[in-house]
Homo-oligomer: A and B are copies of this chain.
Amino acid sequence: MTKDSSTPMVTVHEVARVAGVSAATVSRFLNGTARVSEDKRRAIEGVIERLNYKPNVLARNLKTGSSRTVGVLTQSLVSGYFADALAGVDDALQGTGYAPLIVSGHWHADEEAERIELLIARRVDGLVILSGNLKDAQILKLSQRVPIVAFGRRLEGTRAYGFCLDNYRGACDAVEHLLAHGHRDIAFITGPSDHADALARLAGYRDTLARHGILEQPQLVLPADFDESSGLAAVERLLASGQRFSAIFAANDLSAYGARLALYRRDIRVPDDVSVVGFDDLHSSMYTTPPLTTVRQPLFDVGRCLGRAILAMIGGEKMAREMPELSLVVRESVRRVA
């Protein structure tokens, strides 16, 4: 262990000695753990200032058994979707003394479990889990070791809580919007079939059509993977099939982008020839051409709720359970048809 000569490494004891008090008193002053008389308080303050004393977080961590850190499991650092939620968590933690420790699981259960172990090994005080492929049971088990708040799964335990937004409802709104604009032949670009949100959106699509007495056309349901390239491929297949359709509802914005490009390549105009609706409302959807009508997921707010919730759990307080809602944001990618 090299002692940094430029940093004299001043300790509580040093401060205490110079201020003519005990280390305990300095500690009490620092943490507000107990009353400290006015004169000593002032003396300590002065010495801290003069010596430029900074408490050693590492020592405090060892003593208190906490790292003042919350682990955040995301699936991808480069996804606009997760990035928003991350920013929300970060925002909630700001100024609380807690810092987020972010790891990425890449939608792979094993990797997620491994990263979480790393987080626990680092003694995070709480865990925020953003989607992923872990089983609810695994998370419940994990929550015996550390409090957990999750997004993208419904969960209820003493030290675990998880919630979803109403994806089904969001999808219904999107399809209703298309229907209200006269569309009947609506294609749906699905998400991964093992993804709960994707499934809920598919169900919303199906049920809404059914509710309106519209027979589902299986050829209009196009498998894809929540990304641009699969959205593009899906629509290319659709176009090749010769199926009639006047609108596309994509299970997320990324696949809507891909769909839009496939249309563009065939000189099919949006919304003049085909209407498109997405899901998520990524930042960029406001600036696509045309700006995309989509179901907004308020992910920053979600992240903030998660951050606040895990803080509450760590502090042993009751956490707020209100969560933000989905909402359709109407832009310019849908046109009324006869």
Residues of A bordering B, CB below 8 Å? 1-2, 4, 6-7, 54, 56-59, 61-65, 67, 76-80, 83-84, 86-87, 90, 99-104, 118, 121-123, 144-145, 228, 232, 257-258, 260-261, 264, 283-284, 286-291
Would A284 and B264 count as touching, CB distance under 8 A? no
Assess the B7–A145 pair: CB atoms within 8 A.
Answer: yes
**Residues of B contacting A57 with CB < 8 Å?**
121-123
A83-B83, A257-B287 given; A123·B78 CB < 8 A: no
Assuming the contacts A61-B58, A87-B78, A122-B99, asked whether A228 and B288 have C-beta atoms less than 8 A apart, the reply is no
List chain B residues, Cβ under 8 A from A118.
99
A77 cross-chain contacts in B, Cβ below 8 A: 83, 86-87, 90
A83 contact from B78, B145, B284, Cβ within 8 A: B78
A280 CB to closest chain B CB (Å) equals: 13
Are the C-beta atoms of A62 and B61 separated by less than 8 Å? yes
Q: Which 7 A-B pairs have the closest CB atoms?
A: A77-B87, A264-B289, A228-B287, A257-B287, A58-B62, A62-B62, A78-B83
CA distance A122 to B257 in the complex (A): 42
Cα-based distance from A284 to B80 in the complex (angstroms): 10
Alpha-carbon gap, A84 to B102, bound state (A): 15
Do B102 and A100 touch across chains, with their CB atoms under 8 A apart?
yes
Contact of A287 among B65, B123, B258 (CB under 8 A): B258
